[in-house]
Amino acid sequence: MLGAYLPILLLVIVAIGFGLVSLVMSSLIGPKKFSVLKMSPYESGCEPVGTGQERFSIKFYLIAMLFILFDIEAVFLYPWAILYKKLGMFGLIEMGIFIVILFVGYIYVWKKGALEWE
């Protein structure tokens, strides 16, 4: 039963392996010539200003929050898609109401300009 998930396990192993091999090989065979300029953090070619840890704008947070809410909406679509033929018209109307209510939310977000970057 778990055999069906073997490809996913292989994918995870290859992904972790690729990262590890890249790091280990570059530290083993890569040249190590350090200078002050080379070790300074890269800021698009300018002189580094301040620390790397800066406070981010709340605008990012709003986008992340909206992403989660519509992500949860998408999760409900998966079991519905599997049962689509069995539920028939009933399921279509049911999901239609669900989507329409959330579409109202989408229009609200759009009209309030929450997707604008001001």
Partner 1 sequence: METLFFLIVSLVAIISAILVVTCRNPINSALSLILTFFCLATYYVMLDAPFLAAVQVMVYAGAIMVLIVFTIMLLNIRVNASKSQSHKIVLGSVIGFFTLLNTAVIVFKSRVALPNGPLTGDIIKQQGHTELIGREMFTTFLLPFEITSILLLVAIVGAVILAKKKI
The residues of the shown chain that bind partner 1, judged by CB under 8 A, are 1-2, 5, 53-56, 58-62, 64-69, 71-76, 78-80, 82-83, 86-87, 91, 94, 97-99, 101-102, 104-106, 108-109, 112-114
- Nearest distance from C-beta of residue 67 to partner 1, angstroms: 6
| CA-wise closest residue to 98 among 73, 81, 79 | 73
User: Hunting for tokens 């949860």 — which residue is that?
Assistant: 72
- Nearest distance from C-beta of residue 35 to partner 1, angstroms: 27
Torsion region of 71: left, alpha or beta (phi above 0 gives left; psi -120 to 50 gives alpha): alpha
Q: Which is nearer to partner 1, 32 or 111 (CB)?
A: 111
State the DSSP code for 49. Answer: -
- Nearest distance from C-beta of residue 38 to partner 1, angstroms: 24
